[in-house]
Amino acid sequence: KIHGDTCEVTLDDGEVIDHPESTGIIVRLAESTPPTTTVVVASRTDVGLPLAVLRARGDVVELAADDLAMTFV
């Protein structure tokens, strides 16, 4: 999806990404995109991506079920 000068690449059903070659491609994509591009991996479970380097750089935002749960006050 392209929004003006920015681009978003969304990969849905991330829980089915289990082949090492596929994982490597996604990591390379995330590491090599320009600052105007966002890579989103949507998954019902934790994905097997090695995110430590991206986390350390502050380039990962993770939302878990607790983050998405509706609370009533």
Tens digit of pLDDT for each residue in 24-69? 898 888 888 888 888 888 888 888 788 787 788 888 888 887 888 8
pLDDT of residue 64: 81
Q: Three-state SS for 68?
A: helix
Res. 1: pLDDT tops 60:
no
Residues in a beta bridge with 37: 7
Res. 21: pLDDT tops 70:
yes
Helix, strand, coil share (%) of the chain residues, nearest 5: 35, 20, 50
